[in-house]
Amino acid sequence: MNTVPQAAPAPIATRPTMIEFRDVHKYYGDYHALRGINATIKAGEFFSLLGPSGCGKTTLLRTIAGFEDISSGAVLIDGKHMADVPANVRPTNMVFQSYAIFPHLTVEQNVGFGLRREGGTTAEKAKRVEEALEMVGLKGYGKRAAHALSGGQRQRVALARALILKPKVLLLDEPLSALDKKMREQMQVELIRLQRQVGITFILVTHDQEEALVMSDRIAVMFEGQIAQLADPETLYRRPNSRQVANFIGVMNFLPARVLTEAAGRIAIDVQGLGQTEIDATQAPGVITGGETSVGFRPETLTMLYEGQTTTERETPGTIEEVVYYGDMTYYDVRLDGVDSPVRISMRNVFGRPVLDIGTRTRVAWSAGALVLFR
């Protein structure tokens, strides 16, 4: 493994642009699959397109690869318009959801497939194949028949085959969805390591929010052919700009709220059950849609206080309605006094403190800084 300490990569914002979408639209007949995509992806970035199935994330990825034409707008790779550039000459390579390993060829022939068109001697090509296999941890597998490999190994062959051509951009279409949980988590870590090692822009399509959070520098959350929010994982998780995004990424509690006053970057609100409090304007990242106003907060931002425990935060009384035990964690659904529906609280299980029963009266500590305002 490569153990040479690496300098911290330059911040995303200062890096040169690798991919640019300019008002990209795509129609399939009457169906409007992409509805005005505007985004830039930076060089060397690990970028994810996240969304439910049918949101257009795979279509968007395929417009980069050149497998889909766009109806209007422009896709630029490294500053060049891609309108008339077919997929086989674009500086991108793809890892397919099904891996698309050529079943009639050996591992070696699969990995070296893209080298057919390149110059160089047979020995040089063999060396490059060997290096690529070593990079993905499949040294010595070259002579095997590709169809005899396990799912994880196929995945690695697909990676080696795509990376051997040193593309400017590697496109990954739900590459981990066919693997079991353990294997998936292992491959997530390996993909991150690989991306740092080769320094290529990776663009990942996934419907798994956890996968996107773990792996990405930035994530574009897509719904119905549009990017709903584009941000780094922490911002997405802590400051989602809509209820839809908040619901898609992790668990979010919502309580009805009312805006009282708004001045000098501070917003005074009245929240059902929690009462009056004041938040910073940055805690309302979304645009005002005119819908029902509510505040959201993550389960882990609440703490249940046990008998006699005091807090410097605000506290609200409530009753436990449901208990779900997960081993390291316990989820409690607590109905706060004066609130219509219960909120979910996640508590790390601590040795010596018993899991509480349904029906127990409790006090919940919370702080205004963890709230997000949607309106």
Partner 1 sequence: MKGQGLRLYAILYLVFLYAPIVLLPIFAFNDATIISFPLRGFTTKWFAALAELPTLHQALKNSLIIAVSSSVLATTLGIFASRASTRYEFPGKGGLMGLIMLPLVLPEVIVAMSLLMVLLGIGVDLAIWTVILGHTLICTPFAIAILSAAFQSLDKSLEEAAYDLGESKLSTFRLITLPLVMPGIISSLLISFTISLDEFIIAFFLAGSEPTLPVYIYSQLRFPKQIPAIMALGTILVALSVLLLTIAEYFRRRGLKKTGAKDTGGFL
- Kindly give, in sequence order, each residue whose CB lies less than 8 Å from that of residue 124, ignoring residues fewer than 6 positions away: none
> Could you give the residue ranges of the DSSP H alpha helices within the chain?
57-65, 107-111, 122-135, 151-163, 181-198, 209-215, 233-238, 243-248
Question: Is 168 an interacting residue with respect to partner 1 (CB under 8 A)?
Answer: no
Type and span of the H or E element at 294: strand 294-297
Are 189 and 162 in contact by the 8 Å Cβ rule? The answer is no
Minimum distance, C-beta of residue 139 to partner 1, in the bound complex (Å): 22
Question: Is 1 an interacting residue with respect to partner 1 (CB under 8 A)?
Answer: no
> Among 31, 53, 116, 312, which residue interacts with partner 1 (rule: CB under 8 A)?
116
> Among 87, 198, 259, 323, which residue interacts with partner 1 (rule: CB under 8 A)?
87
Question: Is 97 an interacting residue with respect to partner 1 (CB under 8 A)?
Answer: yes
Minimum distance, C-beta of residue 314 to partner 1, in the bound complex (Å): 54
> Among 27, 71, 80, 102, which residue interacts with partner 1 (rule: CB under 8 A)?
102
Question: Is 113 an interacting residue with respect to partner 1 (CB under 8 A)?
Answer: yes
Minimum distance, C-beta of residue 273 to partner 1, in the bound complex (Å): 51
Specify the stretch interacting with partner 1 by CB under 8 A; choose among 5-13, 114-122, 128-136, 231-239: 114-122
Buried b (16+ CB within 10 A) or exposed e, 191-225: beebbeeeebbbbbbbbbbebbbebbbbbbbbbeb
Residue 168 or 238: which CB sits closer to partner 1? 168
- What's 113's DSSP letter? G
> Among 104, 143, 181, 182, which residue interacts with partner 1 (rule: CB under 8 A)?
104
Instruction: In whole angstroms, give the CA distance from residue 213 to residue 158.
Output: 23
Q: Which residue has the tokens 């409090």?
A: 277
Residue 28 or 325: which CB sits closer to partner 1? 28
Nearest-5° Cα angle at 342, 340 to 347: 155
Task: Give Cα separations from 177 to 13, 16, 110 (angstroms).
Answer: 30, 31, 22
Binding positions for partner 1, 339-358, rule CB under 8 A: none
Please give the size of the binding site for partner 1, defined by CB under 8 A.
Answer: 26
Question: Is 103 an interacting residue with respect to partner 1 (CB under 8 A)?
Answer: yes
> Among 8, 117, 121, 181, which residue interacts with partner 1 (rule: CB under 8 A)?
117
Question: Is 59 an interacting residue with respect to partner 1 (CB under 8 A)?
Answer: no
Question: Which residues are near partner 1 by CB under 8 A?
Answer: 65, 67, 87-89, 92-94, 96-98, 100, 102-104, 113-114, 116-117, 145-148, 161-162, 165
